Structure 1
Amino acid sequence: MIDAYEHARLSLANRIQKWTASGEQYIGPISGLYLYRHVMPNSPMSCMLEPAIAVPVQGTKRTRLGAEVYEYDRSRFLLTSLALPVVMQVSNANPEVPFLSAVLKLDPKIIGELMIDAQIHVPDRQSIPDSGIVLGRTTTQLLEAVGRLVGLMDEPDLIPVLAPLLQREIFYRLLISPVGKYLWQMSSLDSQSRRISRAIEWLKANFREPLQIKDLAHRVDMSPSRLHHHFRQFTSMSPLQFQKWLRLAEARRLMVVQGMAPSIAAYEVGYGSPSQFSREYARMFGTSPRRDVLELTKEVSA
Protein backbone atom coordinates (compact mmCIF):
# COMPACT_ATOMS: atom_id res chain seq x y z
CA MET A 1 0.00 0.00 0.00
CA ILE A 2 1.48 3.36 -1.03
CA ASP A 3 1.43 6.38 1.26
CA ALA A 4 -0.23 9.74 0.54
CA TYR A 5 2.96 11.33 -0.78
CA GLU A 6 3.62 8.52 -3.25
CA HIS A 7 -0.01 8.52 -4.35
CA ALA A 8 0.12 12.26 -5.06
CA ARG A 9 3.45 11.92 -6.88
CA LEU A 10 2.28 9.06 -9.11
CA SER A 11 -0.98 10.84 -9.87
CA LEU A 12 0.87 13.98 -11.01
CA ALA A 13 3.41 11.87 -12.94
CA ASN A 14 0.59 10.18 -14.86
CA ARG A 15 -0.97 13.51 -15.74
CA ILE A 16 2.34 14.91 -16.99
CA GLN A 17 2.95 11.72 -18.99
CA LYS A 18 -0.43 12.10 -20.64
CA TRP A 19 0.11 15.66 -21.84
CA THR A 20 3.76 15.22 -22.89
CA ALA A 21 3.25 11.95 -24.78
CA SER A 22 3.98 13.61 -28.12
CA GLY A 23 6.97 15.78 -27.15
CA GLU A 24 9.37 16.98 -24.49
CA GLN A 25 7.38 20.09 -23.58
CA TYR A 26 3.68 20.84 -23.29
CA ILE A 27 2.32 24.38 -23.01
CA GLY A 28 -1.37 24.10 -22.33
CA PRO A 29 -4.28 26.49 -21.76
CA ILE A 30 -3.29 27.41 -18.18
CA SER A 31 -1.18 30.57 -18.21
CA GLY A 32 2.28 30.12 -16.74
CA LEU A 33 2.12 26.30 -16.50
CA TYR A 34 4.59 24.14 -18.44
CA LEU A 35 5.03 20.35 -18.43
CA TYR A 36 8.28 18.56 -19.36
CA ARG A 37 9.35 15.00 -20.18
CA HIS A 38 12.84 13.75 -21.09
CA VAL A 39 13.56 10.09 -21.78
CA MET A 40 17.34 10.39 -21.45
CA PRO A 41 19.97 12.72 -19.96
CA ASN A 42 20.81 15.70 -22.15
CA SER A 43 23.76 18.04 -22.67
CA PRO A 44 24.14 21.12 -20.44
CA MET A 45 22.11 24.00 -21.87
CA SER A 46 22.51 27.71 -21.17
CA CYS A 47 19.21 29.52 -20.73
CA MET A 48 17.45 32.34 -18.91
CA LEU A 49 15.43 30.91 -16.04
CA GLU A 50 12.39 33.06 -15.23
CA PRO A 51 10.88 33.33 -11.72
CA ALA A 52 9.14 29.98 -11.27
CA ILE A 53 8.81 26.80 -9.24
CA ALA A 54 9.91 23.54 -10.89
CA VAL A 55 8.46 20.39 -9.33
CA PRO A 56 9.96 17.14 -10.67
CA VAL A 57 8.14 13.89 -9.93
CA GLN A 58 10.59 11.52 -11.67
CA GLY A 59 14.26 11.68 -12.60
CA THR A 60 16.84 14.29 -11.64
CA LYS A 61 17.85 17.68 -13.00
CA ARG A 62 20.80 19.96 -12.27
CA THR A 63 20.85 23.74 -12.54
CA ARG A 64 24.11 25.65 -12.21
CA LEU A 65 24.28 29.34 -11.32
CA GLY A 66 27.88 30.48 -11.28
CA ALA A 67 29.81 27.97 -9.18
CA GLU A 68 26.72 26.69 -7.33
CA VAL A 69 24.95 23.52 -8.51
CA TYR A 70 21.35 22.78 -7.49
CA GLU A 71 20.13 19.20 -7.95
CA TYR A 72 16.43 18.48 -7.62
CA ASP A 73 14.30 15.37 -7.98
CA ARG A 74 11.10 13.69 -6.76
CA SER A 75 11.63 15.01 -3.23
CA ARG A 76 13.00 18.52 -3.92
CA PHE A 77 11.74 21.43 -6.00
CA LEU A 78 13.66 24.39 -7.41
CA LEU A 79 12.41 27.94 -6.86
CA THR A 80 13.81 31.00 -8.63
CA SER A 81 12.69 34.49 -7.62
CA LEU A 82 14.61 36.37 -10.35
CA ALA A 83 15.34 35.94 -14.04
CA LEU A 84 18.72 34.22 -13.88
CA PRO A 85 21.25 33.00 -16.48
CA VAL A 86 21.83 29.33 -15.69
CA VAL A 87 23.09 26.09 -17.17
CA MET A 88 20.54 23.26 -16.96
CA GLN A 89 20.85 19.51 -17.53
CA VAL A 90 18.63 16.49 -17.06
CA SER A 91 21.03 14.11 -15.31
CA ASN A 92 18.88 11.05 -14.61
CA ALA A 93 16.23 9.76 -17.01
CA ASN A 94 15.49 6.73 -19.19
CA PRO A 95 12.62 5.55 -21.42
CA GLU A 96 11.15 3.40 -18.63
CA VAL A 97 11.40 6.15 -15.99
CA PRO A 98 11.56 9.49 -17.84
CA PHE A 99 12.25 12.81 -16.20
CA LEU A 100 8.88 14.45 -15.54
CA SER A 101 8.36 17.94 -14.19
CA ALA A 102 5.71 20.65 -13.81
CA VAL A 103 6.87 24.28 -13.88
CA LEU A 104 4.71 27.19 -12.75
CA LYS A 105 5.77 30.80 -13.25
CA LEU A 106 5.58 32.99 -10.16
CA ASP A 107 3.40 36.10 -10.13
CA PRO A 108 4.76 38.85 -7.82
CA LYS A 109 1.45 40.71 -7.85
CA ILE A 110 -0.55 37.71 -6.61
CA ILE A 111 2.14 36.87 -4.05
CA GLY A 112 2.05 40.44 -2.75
CA GLU A 113 -1.75 40.31 -2.46
CA LEU A 114 -1.55 37.03 -0.54
CA MET A 115 0.93 38.51 1.92
CA ILE A 116 -1.47 41.38 2.64
CA ASP A 117 -4.68 39.31 2.70
CA ALA A 118 -3.21 36.62 4.97
CA GLN A 119 -1.21 39.12 7.07
CA ILE A 120 1.92 37.05 6.59
CA HIS A 121 4.74 38.15 8.86
CA VAL A 122 7.54 39.93 7.03
CA PRO A 123 10.86 38.27 7.94
CA ASP A 124 13.65 40.17 9.63
CA ARG A 125 15.71 41.92 6.95
CA GLN A 126 18.89 40.24 8.13
CA SER A 127 17.36 36.83 7.43
CA ILE A 128 16.37 37.69 3.84
CA PRO A 129 18.78 35.88 1.49
CA ASP A 130 20.93 37.58 -1.13
CA SER A 131 20.09 34.84 -3.58
CA GLY A 132 17.52 34.35 -6.30
CA ILE A 133 17.45 30.55 -6.28
CA VAL A 134 16.78 27.87 -3.66
CA LEU A 135 15.84 24.21 -3.24
CA GLY A 136 12.80 23.27 -1.18
CA ARG A 137 11.33 20.03 0.14
CA THR A 138 8.36 18.80 -1.87
CA THR A 139 5.36 18.00 0.33
CA THR A 140 2.26 15.91 -0.23
CA GLN A 141 0.12 19.04 -0.08
CA LEU A 142 2.19 20.81 -2.73
CA LEU A 143 2.03 17.77 -5.05
CA GLU A 144 -1.74 17.57 -4.60
CA ALA A 145 -2.21 21.27 -5.36
CA VAL A 146 -0.04 21.10 -8.50
CA GLY A 147 -1.86 17.89 -9.48
CA ARG A 148 -5.25 19.61 -9.22
CA LEU A 149 -3.97 22.48 -11.37
CA VAL A 150 -2.68 20.12 -14.08
CA GLY A 151 -5.88 18.09 -13.78
CA LEU A 152 -7.94 21.13 -14.82
CA MET A 153 -6.71 20.62 -18.37
CA ASP A 154 -9.14 17.69 -18.54
CA GLU A 155 -11.94 20.18 -17.80
CA PRO A 156 -11.03 23.26 -19.87
CA ASP A 157 -14.34 25.02 -19.16
CA LEU A 158 -13.34 25.26 -15.48
CA ILE A 159 -9.88 26.78 -16.10
CA PRO A 160 -10.87 30.50 -16.13
CA VAL A 161 -12.46 30.24 -12.66
CA LEU A 162 -10.48 27.54 -10.85
CA ALA A 163 -6.93 27.92 -12.23
CA PRO A 164 -6.33 31.32 -10.53
CA LEU A 165 -7.56 29.87 -7.22
CA LEU A 166 -5.24 26.87 -7.44
CA GLN A 167 -2.31 29.08 -8.38
CA ARG A 168 -3.01 31.19 -5.30
CA GLU A 169 -3.09 28.03 -3.18
CA ILE A 170 0.31 26.94 -4.53
CA PHE A 171 1.84 30.38 -3.95
CA TYR A 172 0.37 30.52 -0.44
CA ARG A 173 1.79 27.11 0.45
CA LEU A 174 5.19 28.34 -0.70
CA LEU A 175 4.84 31.56 1.30
CA ILE A 176 4.23 29.70 4.56
CA SER A 177 7.01 27.18 3.87
CA PRO A 178 10.74 27.56 4.65
CA VAL A 179 11.28 29.13 1.19
CA GLY A 180 8.69 31.84 1.88
CA LYS A 181 11.33 34.52 2.50
CA TYR A 182 12.48 34.16 -1.11
CA LEU A 183 8.98 35.05 -2.28
CA TRP A 184 8.82 37.96 0.15
CA GLN A 185 11.98 39.49 -1.30
CA MET A 186 10.54 39.07 -4.80
CA SER A 187 7.28 40.90 -4.07
CA SER A 188 8.53 43.62 -1.70
CA LEU A 189 9.00 46.97 -3.43
CA ASP A 190 11.65 47.78 -0.85
CA SER A 191 13.85 44.73 -1.20
CA GLN A 192 17.25 44.50 -2.86
CA SER A 193 15.86 41.63 -4.92
CA ARG A 194 13.16 43.86 -6.43
CA ARG A 195 15.74 46.48 -7.39
CA ILE A 196 18.01 43.86 -8.97
CA SER A 197 14.97 42.46 -10.77
CA ARG A 198 14.32 45.89 -12.26
CA ALA A 199 17.96 46.10 -13.36
CA ILE A 200 17.70 42.68 -14.98
CA GLU A 201 14.52 43.62 -16.85
CA TRP A 202 16.16 46.80 -18.16
CA LEU A 203 19.21 44.84 -19.32
CA LYS A 204 17.04 42.26 -21.06
CA ALA A 205 15.22 44.99 -22.96
CA ASN A 206 18.34 47.05 -23.79
CA PHE A 207 21.24 44.57 -24.01
CA ARG A 208 22.26 45.83 -27.47
CA GLU A 209 22.98 49.32 -26.10
CA PRO A 210 26.25 50.46 -24.44
CA LEU A 211 26.01 50.01 -20.68
CA GLN A 212 26.88 52.69 -18.13
CA ILE A 213 26.75 51.27 -14.60
CA LYS A 214 26.12 54.71 -13.10
CA ASP A 215 23.02 55.19 -15.27
CA LEU A 216 21.68 51.71 -14.50
CA ALA A 217 22.24 52.24 -10.76
CA HIS A 218 20.30 55.51 -10.94
CA ARG A 219 17.39 53.74 -12.66
CA VAL A 220 16.98 51.30 -9.77
CA ASP A 221 17.71 53.75 -6.92
CA MET A 222 21.03 52.23 -5.89
CA SER A 223 24.60 53.43 -5.75
CA PRO A 224 26.93 51.88 -8.39
CA SER A 225 28.83 49.96 -5.70
CA ARG A 226 25.65 48.57 -4.11
CA LEU A 227 24.26 47.63 -7.51
CA HIS A 228 27.45 45.79 -8.42
CA HIS A 229 27.62 44.00 -5.05
CA HIS A 230 23.99 42.85 -4.90
CA PHE A 231 23.78 42.06 -8.62
CA ARG A 232 26.70 39.65 -8.25
CA GLN A 233 25.20 38.20 -5.05
CA PHE A 234 21.93 37.35 -6.80
CA THR A 235 23.16 36.37 -10.27
CA SER A 236 26.84 35.34 -9.81
CA MET A 237 27.67 37.91 -12.51
CA SER A 238 28.40 41.61 -12.74
CA PRO A 239 25.93 43.71 -14.78
CA LEU A 240 28.46 43.86 -17.64
CA GLN A 241 28.92 40.08 -17.61
CA PHE A 242 25.14 39.67 -17.57
CA GLN A 243 24.80 41.94 -20.61
CA LYS A 244 27.48 39.91 -22.39
CA TRP A 245 25.61 36.69 -21.58
CA LEU A 246 22.39 38.16 -23.01
CA ARG A 247 24.16 39.27 -26.19
CA LEU A 248 25.88 35.94 -26.79
CA ALA A 249 22.76 33.90 -26.02
CA GLU A 250 20.74 35.97 -28.47
CA ALA A 251 23.46 35.68 -31.12
CA ARG A 252 23.42 31.92 -30.65
CA ARG A 253 19.66 31.86 -31.16
CA LEU A 254 19.90 34.01 -34.30
CA MET A 255 22.53 31.72 -35.82
CA VAL A 256 20.74 28.47 -34.98
CA VAL A 257 17.11 29.47 -35.59
CA GLN A 258 17.48 32.06 -38.37
CA GLY A 259 20.67 30.80 -39.97
CA MET A 260 22.38 34.15 -39.51
CA ALA A 261 26.12 34.37 -40.22
CA PRO A 262 28.31 34.94 -37.10
CA SER A 263 29.57 38.33 -38.30
CA ILE A 264 26.01 39.58 -38.90
CA ALA A 265 24.75 38.16 -35.60
CA ALA A 266 27.61 39.92 -33.81
CA TYR A 267 26.51 43.33 -35.09
CA GLU A 268 22.85 42.48 -34.54
CA VAL A 269 23.36 41.99 -30.78
CA GLY A 270 25.52 45.05 -30.25
CA TYR A 271 29.13 44.00 -30.93
CA GLY A 272 31.26 46.43 -32.95
CA SER A 273 33.95 43.85 -33.67
CA PRO A 274 33.29 40.32 -35.02
CA SER A 275 36.69 39.18 -33.73
CA GLN A 276 35.84 40.30 -30.18
CA PHE A 277 32.49 38.53 -30.54
CA SER A 278 34.20 35.28 -31.59
CA ARG A 279 36.65 35.44 -28.67
CA GLU A 280 33.96 36.04 -26.08
CA TYR A 281 31.67 33.44 -27.66
CA ALA A 282 34.40 30.80 -27.46
CA ARG A 283 35.07 31.67 -23.79
CA MET A 284 31.39 31.24 -22.93
CA PHE A 285 30.44 28.23 -25.03
CA GLY A 286 33.82 26.52 -25.31
CA THR A 287 34.09 26.63 -29.10
CA SER A 288 33.84 28.98 -32.09
CA PRO A 289 30.43 30.27 -33.23
CA ARG A 290 30.48 28.26 -36.49
CA ARG A 291 31.48 25.00 -34.80
CA ASP A 292 28.97 25.48 -32.00
CA VAL A 293 26.11 26.14 -34.41
CA LEU A 294 27.09 23.10 -36.48
CA GLU A 295 27.02 20.85 -33.39
CA LEU A 296 23.70 22.29 -32.19
CA THR A 297 22.17 21.81 -35.62
CA LYS A 298 23.28 18.17 -35.63
CA GLU A 299 21.68 17.64 -32.19
CA VAL A 300 18.40 19.18 -33.34
CA SER A 301 18.39 17.03 -36.50
CA ALA A 302 19.11 13.89 -34.46
Structure 2
Amino acid sequence: MTTELAPHLDIACRHAKMGWTNSSIPRLDICVGQVSIAAPCLYRSMVCFILQGSKRVAINKSLLSYDSAEYLISALDLPLIGQIWAADDGQPYVAVSLDLDPAVLTEVVAAMPPVRENDLQDVGIAINPMTAPLRETLLRLLALLDTPDDIPVLAPMVERELMYRLLQGPQGRLLRQIAHPDGALNRVRRAVGWIRDNYKARLRVEALCDASGMSRASLHRHFLAITGVSPLRYQKQLRLQEARHLLLAGGRNASDAGFAVGYESASQFSREYQRQFGAPPARDVRQIKHVIASGAAA
Protein backbone atom coordinates (compact mmCIF):
# COMPACT_ATOMS: atom_id res chain seq x y z
CA MET A 1 0.00 0.00 0.00
CA THR A 2 1.23 3.48 -0.82
CA THR A 3 1.07 6.17 1.89
CA GLU A 4 -1.29 8.13 -0.37
CA LEU A 5 -3.90 5.38 0.09
CA ALA A 6 -3.66 5.14 3.88
CA PRO A 7 -6.79 7.32 4.45
CA HIS A 8 -8.72 5.25 1.87
CA LEU A 9 -7.71 2.03 3.63
CA ASP A 10 -8.70 3.35 7.06
CA ILE A 11 -12.21 4.23 5.86
CA ALA A 12 -12.71 0.99 3.93
CA CYS A 13 -11.66 -1.20 6.87
CA ARG A 14 -13.99 0.62 9.25
CA HIS A 15 -16.96 -0.06 6.98
CA ALA A 16 -16.21 -3.65 5.90
CA LYS A 17 -15.95 -7.12 7.35
CA MET A 18 -13.86 -10.06 6.19
CA GLY A 19 -15.17 -11.19 2.84
CA TRP A 20 -17.48 -9.13 0.62
CA THR A 21 -19.35 -6.07 1.88
CA ASN A 22 -22.02 -4.16 -0.04
CA SER A 23 -21.50 -0.59 1.14
CA SER A 24 -24.17 2.05 1.69
CA ILE A 25 -23.01 3.78 -1.51
CA PRO A 26 -24.91 2.28 -4.46
CA ARG A 27 -22.85 -0.27 -6.46
CA LEU A 28 -19.74 0.28 -4.31
CA ASP A 29 -18.42 -2.92 -2.70
CA ILE A 30 -15.48 -3.60 -0.40
CA CYS A 31 -13.52 -6.87 -0.43
CA VAL A 32 -11.28 -7.95 2.45
CA GLY A 33 -9.43 -11.26 2.22
CA GLN A 34 -6.49 -13.17 3.58
CA VAL A 35 -6.50 -16.65 2.04
CA SER A 36 -4.78 -16.88 -1.34
CA ILE A 37 -6.38 -19.46 -3.63
CA ALA A 38 -6.86 -19.41 -7.37
CA ALA A 39 -10.64 -19.32 -7.69
CA PRO A 40 -13.11 -18.74 -10.51
CA CYS A 41 -14.89 -15.42 -10.50
CA LEU A 42 -17.17 -13.50 -12.83
CA TYR A 43 -15.83 -9.98 -13.21
CA ARG A 44 -18.69 -7.54 -13.61
CA SER A 45 -18.59 -4.33 -15.60
CA MET A 46 -16.68 -2.36 -12.99
CA VAL A 47 -13.61 -0.46 -11.90
CA CYS A 48 -11.55 -1.95 -9.07
CA PHE A 49 -9.06 -0.14 -6.81
CA ILE A 50 -6.76 -2.19 -4.57
CA LEU A 51 -5.95 -0.43 -1.30
CA GLN A 52 -3.72 -3.14 0.22
CA GLY A 53 -2.21 -6.36 -1.09
CA SER A 54 -2.34 -7.46 -4.71
CA LYS A 55 -4.28 -9.63 -7.12
CA ARG A 56 -3.59 -11.85 -10.11
CA VAL A 57 -6.20 -12.43 -12.78
CA ALA A 58 -5.90 -15.14 -15.43
CA ILE A 59 -7.95 -14.54 -18.56
CA ASN A 60 -7.38 -17.32 -21.08
CA LYS A 61 -3.59 -17.43 -21.61
CA SER A 62 -2.92 -13.95 -20.20
CA LEU A 63 -1.98 -13.24 -16.57
CA LEU A 64 -2.68 -9.76 -15.23
CA SER A 65 -1.20 -8.61 -11.92
CA TYR A 66 -1.99 -5.37 -10.15
CA ASP A 67 -1.78 -3.71 -6.75
CA SER A 68 -2.46 -0.32 -5.15
CA ALA A 69 -0.36 1.47 -7.75
CA GLU A 70 -2.87 0.54 -10.46
CA TYR A 71 -6.58 0.13 -11.09
CA LEU A 72 -8.50 -2.36 -13.21
CA ILE A 73 -11.40 -1.72 -15.57
CA SER A 74 -13.65 -4.53 -16.77
CA ALA A 75 -16.06 -3.42 -19.49
CA LEU A 76 -18.33 -6.48 -19.39
CA ASP A 77 -18.95 -9.70 -17.47
CA LEU A 78 -15.86 -11.89 -17.91
CA PRO A 79 -15.28 -15.34 -16.37
CA LEU A 80 -11.76 -15.31 -14.92
CA ILE A 81 -9.52 -17.07 -12.43
CA GLY A 82 -8.58 -14.65 -9.65
CA GLN A 83 -6.07 -14.96 -6.82
CA ILE A 84 -5.62 -12.43 -4.04
CA TRP A 85 -2.47 -11.86 -2.01
CA ALA A 86 -2.12 -10.24 1.38
CA ALA A 87 0.37 -7.41 1.91
CA ASP A 88 4.03 -8.22 2.55
CA ASP A 89 3.55 -7.55 6.27
CA GLY A 90 0.65 -10.03 6.46
CA GLN A 91 -2.11 -7.44 6.49
CA PRO A 92 -5.19 -8.54 4.51
CA TYR A 93 -5.98 -7.76 0.93
CA VAL A 94 -8.42 -4.82 0.71
CA ALA A 95 -10.06 -3.53 -2.47
CA VAL A 96 -13.07 -1.44 -3.45
CA SER A 97 -15.02 -1.88 -6.66
CA LEU A 98 -17.67 0.25 -8.31
CA ASP A 99 -20.04 -1.23 -10.87
CA LEU A 100 -20.09 0.90 -14.01
CA ASP A 101 -23.44 2.51 -14.80
CA PRO A 102 -23.88 3.03 -18.57
CA ALA A 103 -26.35 5.87 -17.91
CA VAL A 104 -23.78 7.78 -15.83
CA LEU A 105 -21.06 7.22 -18.42
CA THR A 106 -23.38 8.40 -21.19
CA GLU A 107 -24.17 11.57 -19.26
CA VAL A 108 -20.51 12.37 -18.61
CA VAL A 109 -19.43 11.55 -22.17
CA ALA A 110 -22.15 13.85 -23.53
CA ALA A 111 -20.69 16.76 -21.53
CA MET A 112 -17.14 16.16 -22.82
CA PRO A 113 -15.72 17.27 -26.19
CA PRO A 114 -16.51 14.67 -28.89
CA VAL A 115 -13.76 12.20 -29.77
CA ARG A 116 -13.44 10.57 -33.18
CA GLU A 117 -12.31 6.97 -32.92
CA ASN A 118 -12.72 3.62 -34.60
CA ASP A 119 -14.85 0.79 -33.23
CA LEU A 120 -13.44 -1.18 -30.29
CA GLN A 121 -11.15 -4.11 -31.08
CA ASP A 122 -9.45 -4.58 -27.69
CA VAL A 123 -10.10 -7.11 -24.95
CA GLY A 124 -12.63 -5.64 -22.53
CA ILE A 125 -10.36 -5.64 -19.46
CA ALA A 126 -7.32 -3.47 -18.73
CA ILE A 127 -4.98 -2.31 -15.96
CA ASN A 128 -3.64 1.24 -15.74
CA PRO A 129 -1.49 3.30 -13.35
CA MET A 130 -3.27 5.06 -10.50
CA THR A 131 -3.18 8.86 -10.69
CA ALA A 132 -3.36 11.60 -8.07
CA PRO A 133 -6.72 12.98 -9.33
CA LEU A 134 -8.21 9.47 -9.17
CA ARG A 135 -6.90 8.93 -5.63
CA GLU A 136 -8.37 12.23 -4.47
CA THR A 137 -11.77 11.58 -6.04
CA LEU A 138 -11.90 8.02 -4.69
CA LEU A 139 -11.11 9.31 -1.19
CA ARG A 140 -13.99 11.77 -1.31
CA LEU A 141 -16.32 8.98 -2.44
CA LEU A 142 -15.21 6.66 0.38
CA ALA A 143 -15.40 9.48 2.93
CA LEU A 144 -19.15 9.62 2.35
CA LEU A 145 -19.40 6.28 4.17
CA ASP A 146 -18.72 8.27 7.36
CA THR A 147 -21.60 10.66 6.62
CA PRO A 148 -24.39 8.41 5.25
CA ASP A 149 -26.94 11.25 5.17
CA ASP A 150 -24.81 12.92 2.48
CA ILE A 151 -24.71 9.87 0.22
CA PRO A 152 -28.00 10.41 -1.73
CA VAL A 153 -26.97 13.94 -2.75
CA LEU A 154 -23.17 13.85 -2.99
CA ALA A 155 -22.35 10.28 -4.07
CA PRO A 156 -23.80 10.72 -7.61
CA MET A 157 -21.79 13.92 -8.02
CA VAL A 158 -18.51 12.31 -6.90
CA GLU A 159 -19.20 9.23 -9.02
CA ARG A 160 -19.55 11.43 -12.09
CA GLU A 161 -16.22 13.06 -11.31
CA LEU A 162 -14.65 9.62 -10.92
CA MET A 163 -16.02 8.56 -14.32
CA TYR A 164 -14.68 11.81 -15.81
CA ARG A 165 -11.19 11.04 -14.48
CA LEU A 166 -11.38 7.50 -15.86
CA LEU A 167 -12.57 8.74 -19.24
CA GLN A 168 -9.53 11.01 -19.37
CA GLY A 169 -7.23 8.03 -18.77
CA PRO A 170 -5.80 5.35 -21.06
CA GLN A 171 -9.07 3.38 -21.08
CA GLY A 172 -11.31 6.32 -21.95
CA ARG A 173 -11.91 4.71 -25.34
CA LEU A 174 -13.07 1.49 -23.71
CA LEU A 175 -15.43 3.34 -21.36
CA ARG A 176 -16.85 5.48 -24.15
CA GLN A 177 -17.87 2.26 -25.89
CA ILE A 178 -20.08 1.41 -22.88
CA ALA A 179 -21.85 4.74 -23.40
CA HIS A 180 -22.37 3.96 -27.11
CA PRO A 181 -25.47 1.70 -27.27
CA ASP A 182 -24.93 0.59 -30.87
CA GLY A 183 -21.18 -0.01 -30.64
CA ALA A 184 -19.55 -3.43 -30.85
CA LEU A 185 -18.90 -3.58 -27.10
CA ASN A 186 -22.55 -3.16 -26.15
CA ARG A 187 -23.62 -5.62 -28.82
CA VAL A 188 -21.23 -8.17 -27.34
CA ARG A 189 -22.51 -7.27 -23.85
CA ARG A 190 -26.01 -8.22 -25.01
CA ALA A 191 -24.71 -11.54 -26.35
CA VAL A 192 -22.92 -12.14 -23.05
CA GLY A 193 -26.16 -11.42 -21.18
CA TRP A 194 -27.98 -14.02 -23.28
CA ILE A 195 -25.33 -16.65 -22.57
CA ARG A 196 -25.34 -15.83 -18.86
CA ASP A 197 -29.13 -16.19 -18.69
CA ASN A 198 -29.12 -19.42 -20.72
CA TYR A 199 -25.78 -21.02 -19.86
CA LYS A 200 -27.38 -24.40 -19.08
CA ALA A 201 -29.03 -24.65 -22.51
CA ARG A 202 -27.45 -25.64 -25.80
CA LEU A 203 -25.78 -22.61 -27.36
CA ARG A 204 -27.83 -21.24 -30.24
CA VAL A 205 -25.85 -18.93 -32.49
CA GLU A 206 -29.04 -17.64 -34.11
CA ALA A 207 -30.32 -16.50 -30.70
CA LEU A 208 -27.00 -14.76 -30.01
CA CYS A 209 -27.18 -12.98 -33.34
CA ASP A 210 -30.72 -11.83 -32.56
CA ALA A 211 -29.75 -10.67 -29.06
CA SER A 212 -26.67 -8.77 -30.25
CA GLY A 213 -27.99 -7.47 -33.57
CA MET A 214 -24.92 -8.79 -35.40
CA SER A 215 -24.35 -11.26 -38.19
CA ARG A 216 -22.75 -14.62 -37.39
CA ALA A 217 -19.35 -13.51 -38.76
CA SER A 218 -19.43 -10.13 -37.02
CA LEU A 219 -20.53 -11.68 -33.73
CA HIS A 220 -17.71 -14.20 -33.73
CA ARG A 221 -15.08 -11.60 -34.67
CA HIS A 222 -16.12 -8.99 -32.10
CA PHE A 223 -16.89 -11.50 -29.33
CA LEU A 224 -13.43 -13.05 -29.68
CA ALA A 225 -11.72 -9.64 -29.83
CA ILE A 226 -13.46 -8.28 -26.72
CA THR A 227 -13.74 -11.33 -24.44
CA GLY A 228 -10.72 -13.25 -25.71
CA VAL A 229 -12.77 -16.41 -26.26
CA SER A 230 -15.47 -17.72 -28.58
CA PRO A 231 -19.13 -17.72 -27.44
CA LEU A 232 -18.99 -21.50 -26.95
CA ARG A 233 -15.85 -21.26 -24.81
CA TYR A 234 -17.42 -18.45 -22.80
CA GLN A 235 -20.43 -20.63 -22.05
CA LYS A 236 -18.17 -23.55 -21.02
CA GLN A 237 -16.31 -21.32 -18.58
CA LEU A 238 -19.57 -20.17 -17.00
CA ARG A 239 -20.77 -23.76 -16.69
CA LEU A 240 -17.53 -24.99 -15.15
CA GLN A 241 -17.35 -22.13 -12.66
CA GLU A 242 -20.92 -22.74 -11.54
CA ALA A 243 -20.22 -26.48 -11.23
CA ARG A 244 -17.20 -25.70 -9.06
CA HIS A 245 -19.36 -23.54 -6.78
CA LEU A 246 -21.92 -26.35 -6.50
CA LEU A 247 -19.23 -28.88 -5.58
CA LEU A 248 -17.71 -26.56 -2.98
CA ALA A 249 -21.16 -26.02 -1.46
CA GLY A 250 -21.39 -29.77 -0.89
CA GLY A 251 -24.20 -32.25 -1.33
CA ARG A 252 -23.42 -33.11 -4.98
CA ASN A 253 -20.98 -35.44 -6.68
CA ALA A 254 -19.19 -34.54 -9.90
CA SER A 255 -21.78 -36.12 -12.19
CA ASP A 256 -24.67 -34.33 -10.47
CA ALA A 257 -22.86 -30.98 -10.69
CA GLY A 258 -22.11 -31.52 -14.38
CA PHE A 259 -25.71 -32.37 -15.22
CA ALA A 260 -26.96 -29.42 -13.14
CA VAL A 261 -25.05 -26.92 -15.30
CA GLY A 262 -26.06 -28.41 -18.63
CA TYR A 263 -23.58 -31.19 -19.43
CA GLU A 264 -25.10 -34.33 -20.93
CA SER A 265 -22.02 -36.50 -20.41
CA ALA A 266 -20.30 -37.03 -17.05
CA SER A 267 -17.03 -38.01 -18.74
CA GLN A 268 -17.02 -34.90 -20.92
CA PHE A 269 -17.68 -32.75 -17.85
CA SER A 270 -14.75 -34.31 -15.96
CA ARG A 271 -12.40 -33.86 -18.93
CA GLU A 272 -13.29 -30.21 -19.42
CA TYR A 273 -13.22 -29.53 -15.67
CA GLN A 274 -9.68 -30.90 -15.41
CA ARG A 275 -8.61 -28.93 -18.48
CA GLN A 276 -9.99 -25.73 -16.93
CA PHE A 277 -8.86 -26.12 -13.31
CA GLY A 278 -5.90 -28.50 -13.57
CA ALA A 279 -7.36 -31.39 -11.54
CA PRO A 280 -10.39 -33.72 -11.62
CA PRO A 281 -13.46 -32.35 -9.80
CA ALA A 282 -13.16 -34.33 -6.56
CA ARG A 283 -9.43 -33.69 -6.12
CA ASP A 284 -9.78 -30.01 -7.03
CA VAL A 285 -12.49 -29.48 -4.41
CA ARG A 286 -10.46 -31.33 -1.74
CA GLN A 287 -7.46 -29.12 -2.47
CA ILE A 288 -9.49 -25.92 -2.25
CA LYS A 289 -11.16 -26.93 1.01
CA HIS A 290 -7.78 -27.83 2.48
CA VAL A 291 -6.35 -24.42 1.58
CA ILE A 292 -9.41 -22.65 3.01
CA ALA A 293 -9.26 -24.69 6.22
CA SER A 294 -5.52 -24.03 6.58
CA GLY A 295 -6.07 -20.30 6.11
CA ALA A 296 -8.91 -20.22 8.61
CA ALA A 297 -6.83 -22.06 11.18
CA ALA A 298 -3.96 -19.65 10.66
**Shift of residue 181, structure 1, vs aligned partner:** 0.7
* TM value normalised by structure 2: 0.91
The answer to whether residue 126 in structure 2 is matched with residue 110 in structure 1 is: no
Q: Deviation string for 1:164-217 (max 9, x for gaps)?
A: 221111111111222211101122112111111110010000011111223312
How many residues align? The count is 294
The answer to whether residue 158 in structure 2 is matched with residue 162 in structure 1 is: no
Q: Deviation string for 1:228-249 (max 9, x for gaps)?
A: 1211111121100111111111
**Shift of residue 267, structure 1, vs aligned partner:** 1.6
**Shift of residue 146, structure 1, vs aligned partner:** 1.2
Instruction: Identify the residue that residue 3 of structure 1 maps to in structure 2.
Output: none
Unaligned runs of 5+ in 2: none
Q: Extract structure 1 runs of 4+ deviating beyond 6 A.
A: none
User: Of 41, 66, 72, which aligns to 2:60?
Assistant: 66
**Shift of residue 218, structure 1, vs aligned partner:** 3.0
Aligned to 2:153, the other structure's residue is in SS state helix
- Change in CA separation of 1:184 and 1:17 when aligned onto 2, cut-off 3 Å: same
Identity %: 34
Instruction: Identify the residue that residue 10 of structure 1 maps to in structure 2.
Output: 6
Instruction: Identify the residue that residue 124 of structure 1 maps to in structure 2.
Output: 117
The answer to whether residue 26 in structure 2 is matched with residue 25 in structure 1 is: no
Distance 2:88 2:23 in 1: 24
User: Of 25, 34, 39, which aligns to 2:29?
Assistant: 34
Q: Deviation string for 1:264-299 (max 9, x for gaps)?
A: 222211111112111111111111112222222333
Listed as ranges, the matches of 1:156-195 within 5 Å are 156-195=148-187
Unaligned runs of 5+ in 1: 1-5
CA RMSD of aligned residues (A): 2.1
Listed as ranges, the matches of 1:283-294 within 5 Å are 283-294=275-286
Aligned to 2:182, the other structure's residue is in SS state coil
Preserved CA contact (<8 Å) 1:38 1:93:
no
Preserved CA contact (<8 Å) 2:54 2:86:
yes
Preserved CA contact (<8 Å) 1:123 1:181:
no
* TM value normalised by structure 1: 0.90
**Shift of residue 29, structure 1, vs aligned partner:** 1.4
